[in-house]
Structure 1
Amino acid sequence: MEKLKKLQDYLRSLESVAVAFSSGVDSTFLLKVAKDTLGDKVMAVTAQSCSFPKRELKEAIAFCEKEEIKHVICESEELSIEGFAQNPKNRCYLCKKELFEKIQKIADDNGMKAIVEGSNLDDNGDYRPGLQAVAELGIKSPLRHCDLSKADIRALSHYLHLPTWEKQSFACLSSRFVYGETITEEKLGMVDKAEQLLLNMGFHQVRVRIHGMMARIEIEPSEFGKLMEDENREKIAKSLKEYGFTYVTLDLMGYRTGSMNETL
C-alpha cells in the first residue's frame, strides 16, 4: 500500500498524463491508478499494428469504455519502419521511438503534460533496448520510479479488482522472431493464430517462437502433461501445420521471458 501511495503522489506531480496502453497487466494497472488519481486529466493511447493481437485491442477498448477513459487508437505499422523488418538487435528501440513520437503528438494535441508507460522494476534485469527510446524522449516510467515489481503490480491489481491481476504476461509478436530473421506480416499472423489456439485450449502462459518455419512452443512445465495428451498434441500439430509451420516443437525449458535474448 505504501508503494501505491507513492505511485499516486508521483502521478499527481505530473498533473496530466497520456498512458501508453496495451491492455496488459502493467499498463492496465497504471491506467487505472492514473484515472482514480487524476480523473479527467488522463487519456489512453493504444497502438494498432499487425504485431498487436486483435484480442488485446478489443480488451483495451472495452476497459477504457468501462472506466470512461478517453481513448485514442493510433496506427503504428512497425514493418514500415526502416530496418525493423530485418529484426536487428535494437528492433524494440526502433519501434518504441516511432510509437512514442506519435504518442507525443497526440498528447500535445490533447494538452497532456506527460507521457507515461508501464515498464516495471523487473524490466531492469533483461535486455530492453526499448527503454533507451523511453529515456531519450523523456517518457516517464512511474512503476519503475516507484519500485513496483511484477508481483507488486499483480497484488495491487487484485486489491483494485482488476481482471488483469492474473492475466498472462504478453509482449509484441515481433519478439517471437530470432534476431536477424525477417519479420513478415504472414509470419506474424502464423504466430498470432498459434498462440490464440493455445490460449483457447486453456494453456495459461504461452509463447510460440518462430525459427524459419519451425514453431517452438513455450508453456509452463506444469502444463506439459496436458499438451502431450494425444488429442491435444495432435490438434496442436495439425493446426500449426495448417497455419504454415513445417515443424512443431515443445521447448523442454518451458515458458520464460526474453528467451530470444539468450543468444546475445
Structure 2
Amino acid sequence: MSCRSRPLDHGNAMTHELADAQLRLEAALRREGPLAIAVSGGVDSMTLAYLAHRVDPKATLMVHAVSAAVPGEATRRVEVYAARWGWTLRLIDAGEFADPDYLRNPVNRCFFCKRNLYGAIAAVARRRIMAGTNLDDLGDYRPGLEAASQHDVRHPYVEAGIDKKGVRALATAHGLDDLAELPAAPCLASRLETGIAVTPLSLRLIEAIETRLKRNHPGHTLRARLRAGGLVVELDHRLDPMAIENALGQEIADMARGFDERRPIRYERYRMGSAFVGRKDGVA
C-alpha cells in the first residue's frame, strides 16, 4: 500500500469539498503557536499528525503514550511514520496504571485515562495540545472529552467540520492508504466489561487473541472482550463466528489458559461499545 504523499485532485465537486475541508483544518492548525499532537496510532490522530507536520514541521511535536493498553502495532505504526516523514516524536508513559480510578474500570474510565494522558503531555510539551476527535465522536458517550476540556485541548477536525469519513478521505487523498483502511481500534482497556479491573495480564491476553485473529483476517473489525460471564470473541458481519470457532477455537482456548484465564469462551457478532454496561453519568 502506498504511503507516498500526493496533492489533492481538484477535478470534481467532491474533491473540491474535501480540499475546502483541508483548508479549514490547516487554518485551525495555524491559529496558535507550537503544537503537541496526541497520537494514538489510529487513522484520526495519525492523519492529523501528518497534516500538522506539513503545515509547520518545526513547531509540531508528536506525543505517543506507550502502555499495556496501547496495542504494540499502534506504537510501531507511529514510529514508522515518524521515521518516514521526519516527525519530532516523544514517547511517554501517561501514568494511568498508577491511577486507582482508572484501574477499577468505571463506566467513565476514559475520563481518567485521558486526564492522565493530557496531564503527561502538558508536563513534557508545554504547548497547545491537539487531539484527533472528529464530528462523529461528539455523538458517542465520550467522557474523555471532559478531560480534554479541563486541559484546554483543541479538536481541529471538529473546528473544521470533518467527520470520520472525511478523515479517511483526507488520508486517501494524500496517499496514506494504510491509514485510510484501518479499522477502528480503541484502546485495549475498552475490551474489559465495566467493573472488571484493568490489569496488564488481561490486556496482554486481549492483544494476543486479536493479533492472532488479524493474522487470518486483516482489515476486519475484531474484538476479544472480557466479561463477567466469560471471554467473548466478537467478529464483524463479514465473518462467520462458527467458522472462526471451528478454525481457531482450540488455539484461542490454549492462549487463554496460558494467561491464567479460565472463563468460558463465546463467539458472537461485533457490537460497538458492548463492554460498557451501567449508567453513563460518571458512575459505574
Give the TM-score of the pair, scaled to structure 1: 0.91
Q: Which residue of 2 aligns with 1:37?
A: 55
Q: How does 1:143-222 map to 2 (within 5 A)?
A: 143-162=157-176, 163-203=178-218, 204-212=220-228, 214-222=230-238
Q: How does 1:185-264 map to 2 (within 5 A)?
A: 185-203=200-218, 204-212=220-228, 214-224=230-240, 227-228=243-244, 230-245=246-261, 246-251=263-268, 254-261=269-276, 263-264=278-279
Task: Please state how far the C-alpha of 1:213 moved relative to its aligned partner.
Answer: 7.0
Q: Which residue of 1 aligns with 2:10?
A: none
More deviation in 88-97 or 226-235? 226-235
Helix, strand or coil at the partner of 1:83 = helix
Distance 1:69 1:216, change over 3 A: same
Distance 1:43 1:192, change over 3 A: same
Paired amino acid for 2:234: E
Does residue 1:86 correspond to 2:104, yes or no? yes
Q: How does 1:122-161 map to 2 (within 5 A)?
A: 122-161=136-175
Q: Which residue of 2 aligns with 1:60?
A: 78
Which has the bigger relative contact order, CA under 8 A and spacing at least 6? Answer: 2
Paired amino acid for 1:214: G
Percent identity between matched residues is 26
In structure 1, stretches of 5+ residues that fail to align are none
Q: How does 1:96-111 map to 2 (within 5 A)?
A: 96-108=114-126
Task: Please state how far the C-alpha of 1:32 moved relative to its aligned partner.
Answer: 0.7
Q: Which residue of 2 aligns with 1:72?
A: 90
Q: Spell out, residue by residue over 1:166-188, the C-alpha distance to the aligned partner (whole angstroms, 9 max, x if none).
A: 01111111111111111111111
Q: Which residue of 2 aligns with 1:116?
A: 130
Q: How does 1:11-26 map to 2 (within 5 A)?
A: 11-26=29-44
Task: Please state how far the C-alpha of 1:164 moved relative to its aligned partner.
Answer: 0.6
Distance 1:64 1:170, change over 3 A: same
User: Contact (CA 8 Å) 2:63, 2:92: kept in 1 or not?
Assistant: yes
Distance 1:76 1:241, change over 3 A: same
Task: Please state how far the C-alpha of 1:15 moved relative to its aligned partner.
Answer: 3.1
Task: Please state how far the C-alpha of 1:234 moved relative to its aligned partner.
Answer: 4.0
Structure 1 runs, 4 residues or longer, greater than 6 Å off: none
Task: Please state how far the C-alpha of 1:233 moved relative to its aligned partner.
Answer: 4.0
Distance 1:175 1:138, change over 3 A: same
Give the TM-score of the pair, scaled to structure 2: 0.85
Q: Which has the higher helix share?
A: 1
CA distance in 2, matches of 1:122, 1:248: 32
